[in-house]
Structure 1
Amino acid sequence: MAVGTRLVAWDKCWHVSACDRSGIPHALMSLPAPPHTSAAAADVRSSPDIICLLILGLSWLAAIAVVGPRGEFPINDDWAYAVTVKALVQDHRLVFSDWIAANNLTSALWGSLFALVFGYSFETLRLSTLVAGLLGGAALYGWARQSGASPARSLMAAFCLMFNPFYVQLSFSFMTDVPFTAALTIAMALITRGALGGHGGATAGGWAAALFALLMRQVGMAIPLAHAVANIVTRRPTWRSMAWAVLPVIAFVAVQRGYARFLAETGRMPELFGTNSELMLQRLAGPLSVTIEGAAAFLLYLLLYLGLFLGPLTVMFAAPAFRRLGPAIKLRLGAVLLGATLLVTVTMLALGHPMPVWSNTLTESGLGVDGHGPRAPYLMWAALTLVGCLSGWSLLAALIVHCLRWREWPPAMRWSMLFAGSTALIIAAPIAITPLRFDRYLLPMLPCLIMLAVMGAGGGGELRRPARAGEVVFWLAMALTAAFSVLSTRDYMASRRVHDAAVSALIDQGIPSERIDAGWVLNGYRNFGRFGITRDPETWLLTPDYVVASRPAPGYDIIESRPVQRWLPWAVGRTPILVMRKRSVP
């Protein structure tokens, strides 16, 4: 079917308010798929698709080979999530660490599947996350294809997600960030396919994946909420259509409340369960000025991070939006974007706060939860702050222009973009309010925003192969991003191996772990729950007579220095892992 014929058929179906006997609107059950570049695009089975997916998979395997997944240690607070898997596999009990705040049910089941086959270990859990990461990238490729993007543009979308620094680094952990992002991407791709193409199986699979995501992290509630927004805004209101829009929301709320009740009644509820919700309520109960100030700062920093991570797609997304603007408007808009970029960049540099402004994954050293490796050059972070500002403001301006042309978009694209955009906004909303912000919380937003960029790059029509200039800019930026992501993760994993070996050597000498300050990650892994206060990592030690770190500690003598082979240009030959002993200890 030709593209024009598809769009006409879509419009006719979309504005019909009749429903079938089940009460589900025809517009959501039997609409033709959105425009595709070829008949094979809908099923992602053509030769170009197979080639692109092979490229994606081989690139992921190459990244794994460079980084190296070996190592029996956690790299973040994934030690807490591993507790449940270990109890399930070895003791056949459902147990949760008091440290976790997420639902953590399906993530534990996912890890247990691999542990049953390969045995319980951090390497096995790391493998489970790496597989989830590949599935998430493939799902985003399929989502882009069914939205009408060419194989080349769909491959760009998948690369932009999979080689994002957060995605790469967290794929080598057992944190829930990557599996949740993958489940969310699969869910949204299938729900979109079911809604726009009338595929009942895709719809069922999509909601199953969405439920899987919810039982991993509470923010999975964003999927049914965004689905409701997309249907309410784009369809004529009828009782049946509105019921179909809100039914998934009611079901997911019931599941979440039922799960929380199950945890409470069986004595399995972690002490920190739902901590972020408590912090948000406390913030909202405080002075309004503090809430507004925090939200404003979050939005500015969010613009910087998303501008940096979506930077490779900026040219393709912004060009169609600005193409139809008059020369005078383009000139004024360019001046505004440049002025805003310089203002924010100069202000942040003057205050001594260039990127990165948040913590936990991206640090001054590169990637890693502690940030204690060799610091990257200040000039690099200043340049990245400038690039993030310019890209972020450009993406925001392009999004505003696209929204002003809302009525020009085919209804299929309107629904799809609203579904993706609403999901990203709902995920961002609680982060804007809570005082506890980790940079990795932004990761689940990326597939949704990447899809907005991909669909927006088509200008509302058929999503053809990207222009040559856009391709060149994308792949140059993507190559730099991927190199940073892979090499930084590789260096961090190398550092953790040496770090863990140094701690293990002290323990083998008969020194108990509660006397070794190995950083909060390994302190939590070895000591959490034995003593101390759950919410205070500083109490997870008794007498820190020894310290293992990458920088000298005041009051301690260095008794051993273990070299770390790093590959990042600013880190080669620098910052070994130091084993130190308190001066008062004989």
Structure 2
Amino acid sequence: MTRPDAARSGRWDGLICGLIVVLAILLDHPFIEMGLIDDFSYIQTAFIYARTGHFVYNGWATAMLGWQIPWGALFVKVFGYHVWPLHLSNLVLAGLCMPLLHSVMRRSGLNRSHAIFATLLTGLSPIFIPLSSTFMTDTGGLLTLTLCWYGLLRALDSHSDRSVYLWLVIATAASVIGGTARQIVWVGALTMMPAAALMLRKRKGVVALAISLWVVSVASIVSCLRWFKHQPLSVPEPIIQGHFGLRSFRELAGTELAGFLCLIMLALPVFVAAIPPRSQWTMRGWVKLSAATVVVTMVSFFIAFHLMEHGWMPWTGDVVEHLGVFDYSAGWLLGVEPMLFSHTARIVGSFLIIGIAIAGAASLWNARRLETTETSSKASSWHSQIILLGGLLVGYLGLLVPRAIWFQVLDRYLLPLIPVAALIVLRLHQERLAKRIPTMAWATLAVWGMFAVMGTHDWLESHRARLTAVARLGDAGIPPEHINAGYEFNGMTQIRLAGTIVDPRVTFPPEMHVVTQPDYPADLPKSCYGIFYKSTPMVKPEFFLAHQVIPCLEPSSFGTVPYRTWLPPYGREILILQRSR
């Protein structure tokens, strides 16, 4: 389809996709007066910025948070000093991201059906829905990276030199500004823009402009990093963060493999689209698929076993795990959250996901080309896509290597890679298998979206139940600092009382007297502390919220807070416990 035809066909599709995603998020009622994941720290920075116009960090943010703080502060100014306006600000970004992402998919050569599918796959993913219900920087990062991507595609399609210059500048600016909140977005200016300029090098003045933009980008990035490093209570992260030896290669291989498998899981509906009809399967084909699935799954299990997930789906975590997939004791809250997926279900799911991916990939590999995407657009040619996406992947994956060696590639780091994976697989599907997405793939996407919405609802309901428990204790005169209410709540309490989280990487100003040692009773086992107790010494709990009764604690007279969920087990509760007497 030519570019003018694409513009006339389905011009409202992107807006409709955005509306669907926003309504899906609103179904979960994401407006909650509590921090989620790490945004408890960002929330306090936004509140102070709204009052003073200054960036003030609190010992937890490892990125400068950049443009997202003034954006969130604007909503705080309009709606008041509450947490929910900041969550609303991210919801707006989510709505803006979808039409832009749809335009990128169309300009990258996907037809109407495939572009809608790719957009909804990203917007309804069990990563995007939960993150867009928070004040985390991931949603804004995807928006600005997509804007950079869109600008580069427009530059490749531009007929006049002036238009090329304009779009290169816009794309670079989007990347540099976007990276102030989500540093990974800087790959747009550092690697994607040079890749686009390489394809435009025969245009007058493009090489000189690209070099100038790259130099300015590097200078801006270095200046931002130096500024952030010198801010009080900031937490800069060096690239080299520990010893590097032979074991590091094993850690790198396992972590990168876990991230790759998690990405396959997040993009699963596109592989379902590529699976051939049942009538085309032979017994020999089933045997080959079964053998390949067993081998790949078991090899992956051994390579990625060192991670918390022990080599089974979701392979790596942070966000998806909150939706009833996986939890560990005394993590976000004492006890283990009731899970939709048992350990056995995770094992079965691992084989199923890898089997579907192998079947879909094999189908695409063996299929004969139906047609080449006919287009007058330079941006949508395979040559342009390979170079542009190659620039993105080289920069993005390169920046993830240090994380893979010394930490873990969290599932939310994969968010920008979901549309990339969808574009590549769906473009192949469109040209080799069918011009339309099969019904089974749409059904899988619908189930995937329902899981994301329902799982996010249950995750938020758990936090609401915590707040109800805290309010019940507060009515009895018990202040928040005497309540262990979990990771996010304790973090907000610590910042409110001390102005900072206690982190060994942070140097405190001389005039700031910070209690750095937690004052937990010596006879209280560490299983009752929670993972965050060393960083929140101002929290000296007398009461503890938990998913289950903990051996070192006993039920209190304040009872439990029951809540209902949309996914099984449906009846859950938050227990209010106290020290055993």
Query: 1:139, CA displacement in angstroms?
Result: 1.1
* In structure 1, distance between residues paired with 2:394 and 2:226: 28
Partner of 2:148: 187
2:313 equivalent to 1:355: yes
Identify the structure with the greater helix proportion: 1
1:543 lines up with 2:515 in the alignment: no
Equivalent residue for 1:443?
415
Q: AA paired with 2:110?
A: A
Question: What whole-Å deviation, never above 9, does each CA across 1:422-452 have from its counterpart, x for those lacking one?
Answer: 3134223333332222221111222233233
The one of 227, 246, 250 aligned to 1:293: 250
Aligned equivalents of 1:480 and 1:270: distance in 2? 43
Aligned to 2:295: 343
Deviation (angstroms), 1:544: 2.7
- Give the partner amino acid of 1:441: Y
Is the contact made by 2:171 and 2:188 (CA closer than 8 Å) also made in structure 1?
Answer: no
Matches within 5 A, 1:485-500: 485-500=452-467
**Compared with structure 1, are the counterparts of its residues 436 and 401 closer, same or farther at alpha carbon in structure 2 (3 Å cutoff)?**
farther
Q: Is the 2:156–2:196 contact (alpha carbons within 8 Å) kept by the matching residues of 1?
A: no
Q: Which moved more, 1:481-490 or 1:307-316?
A: 307-316
Counterpart CA distance in 1 for 2:148 and 2:290 is: 38
Of the structure 1 ranges 238-247 and 361-370, higher mean CA displacement relative to structure 2 is found in 238-247
> Hey, what does 1:373 align to over in structure 2?
337
- Alignment of structure 1 residues 308-457 onto 2, 5 Å: 308-314=265-271, 338-346=290-298, 353-363=311-321, 365-366=324-325, 370=332, 372-378=336-342, 379-393=344-358, 412=379, 413=381, 414-434=383-403, 435-437=406-408, 438-457=410-429
Going from structure 1 to structure 2, the CA distance change for 1:195 and 1:359 (only over 3 Å counts) comes to: same
Partners of 1:160 and 1:245 in 2: CA distance: 33
TM-score by length of 2: 0.80
* Equivalent residue for 2:37, pick from 72, 76, 79: 76
Q: Does 2:564 correspond to 1:565?
A: yes
Partner of 2:226: 261
Match of 1:16 in 2: none
Residue aligning to 1:7: none
Q: Does structure 1 residue 583 correspond to structure 2 residue 544?
A: no
Query: Is contact 2:15–2:99 with CA below 8 Å preserved after alignment?
Result: no
Q: 2:241 is matched with which residue: 261, 279, 282?
A: 282
Aligned to 2:84: 123
Equivalent residue of 1:282, what SS?
coil
Q: Residue type matched to 1:304 in 2?
A: L
Residue 207 of structure 1 aligns to a residue in which SS?
helix
What is the rounded CA distance, in whole Å, between the counterparts of 2:249 and 2:366 in structure 1?
26
Q: Which amino acid aligns with 2:460?
A: M
2:486 is the counterpart of 1:524: no
Distance 2:259 2:34 in 1: 31
Contact 1:307 1:390 in 2 (8 A): no
* AA of the residue aligned to 1:436: F
In 2: Cα distance, 1:207 partner to 1:471 partner:
38
Q: In the TM superposition, what is the alpha-carbon distance from 1:579 to its structure 2 partner?
A: 0.6
For 2:153 and 2:289, locate their aligned partners in 1 and report how far apart those are by CA, in whole Å. 34
Q: Which residue identity does 2:214 align to in structure 1? A: V
Amino acid at match of 2:397: A
Structure 1 match to 2:23: 62
Which region of structure 1 is more displaced relative to structure 2, 301-310 or 488-497? 301-310
Range 344-353 or range 292-301, more displaced: 344-353
The question of 1:533 aligning with 2:532 is answered no
AA in 2 matched with 1:505: R
What letter matches 1:312 in structure 2? P
Task: Give 2:546's aligned amino acid.
Answer: A
Per the alignment, do residues 61 and 258 of structure 1 end up closer, same or farther by CA in structure 2, a change over 3 Å counting? closer
Q: Does 1:484 align with 2:480?
A: no
CA offsets 1:139-190 (integer angstroms, 9 cap, x no match): 1101112223222221111101001101001111000011111111122112
Decide whether the 8 Å contact of 1:164 with 1:485 is kept in 2. yes
CA distance in structure 2 between the aligned counterparts of 1:237 and 1:133, rounded to whole angstroms: 37
Amino acid at match of 2:69: A
Please give the per-residue CA displacement for 1:390-438, whole angstroms capped at 9, x wherever unaligned: 3444677789899xxxx99996422223312431342233333322222
Q: Counterpart of 1:505?
A: 472
Alignment correspondent of 1:302? 259
How many residues align? The count is: 519
Work out the CA distance in 2 between the residues paired with 1:243 and 1:396: 41
Q: Residue 215 and residue 530 in structure 1: after superposition, are their counterparts in 2 closer, same or farther (change >3 A)?
A: closer
* Gapped regions of structure 2 (runs ≥ 5): 505-530
Conserved? CA contact 2:169–2:213, under 8 Å: no
Deviations 1:529-557 (A, max 9, x none): 45773258322145332111212222211
Post-superposition CA distance 1:334-390 (Å, at most 9, x none): 977653421233456797642123232122724898384311233432333123323
Q: Kindly provide the CA deviation profile for residues 456-488 of structure 1, in whole angstroms up to 9, marking residues without a partner as x.
A: 34449xxx9833xx4213201101100110000
Contact between 2:59 and 2:501, CA under 8 Å: does it hold in 1? no
For 1:49, the aligned partner's letter is: R
One-letter amino acid of the structure 1 residue matched with residue 450 of structure 2: A
User: Are the aligned partners of 2:22 and 2:95 in contact in 1 as well (CA < 8 Å)?
Assistant: no
How large is the RMSD of aligned CA atoms in angstroms?
Answer: 3.5
Deviation at 1:83, TM superposition (A): 1.8
SS in 2 for 1:579: strand
The C-alpha deviation readout for 1:27-52, integer Å capped at 9, x for no partner, is: xxxxxxxx43xx2424xxx36221x2
Residue 572 of structure 1, CA deviation: 0.7
1:230 aligns with 2:218: no
Aligned residue for 1:29?
Answer: none
Q: Give the direction of change, closer, same or farther, for the CA distance of 1:408–1:76 in structure 2 (3 Å limit).
A: closer
Other structure's SS at 2:11 match: helix
d(CA) in 1 for partners of 2:274 and 2:483? Answer: 51
C-alpha distance in 1, partners of 2:415/2:250?
23
Deviation per CA, 1:258-309: give whole Å up to 9, x if none: 1233335xx5254422x2xx2x4134x521x222112211232123112111
Counterpart residue number, 1:49: 11
For 1:230 and 1:394, the matched residues in 2 are separated by 33
In the alignment, residue 377 of structure 1 is paired with which amino acid? Answer: F
Bigger drift between 131-140 and 192-201 goes to: 192-201
Corresponding residue to 1:248 among 213, 219, 226: 213
1:474 corresponds to which of 441, 453, 475: 441
Query: Which blocks of at least 5 consecutive residues in structure 1 are unaligned?
Result: 4-34, 320-326
Residue 138 of structure 1 aligns with which residue? Answer: 99
The share of aligned pairs that are identical, in percent, is: 22
- Aligned AA (1:386): F
Q: Summarize deviations over 1:541-581 as a string: whole Å, max 9, x none.
A: 4533211121222221112111011110x2211x3011111
Tell me: CA distance 1:149–1:366, structure 2 relative to 1, closer, same or farther (3 Å). Answer: same
Question: Residue 268 of structure 1 aligns to which amino acid in structure 2?
Answer: Q
What secondary structure does 1:281 align onto?
coil
Distance across 1 between alignment mates of 2:460 and 2:479: 24
- Which of 69, 85, 89 in structure 1 is aligned with 2:46? 85
C-alpha separation in 2, matches of 1:335 and 1:238: 54
Q: Cα distance 1:474–1:81, how it changes in 2: closer, same or farther (>3 A)?
A: same
CA distance in 1, matches of 2:275, 2:141: 29
2:390 and 2:444 mapped to 1: Cα distance? 24
TM-score computed with the length of structure 1 as normaliser: 0.79
Equivalent pair of 1:355/1:384 in contact (CA under 8 Å) = yes
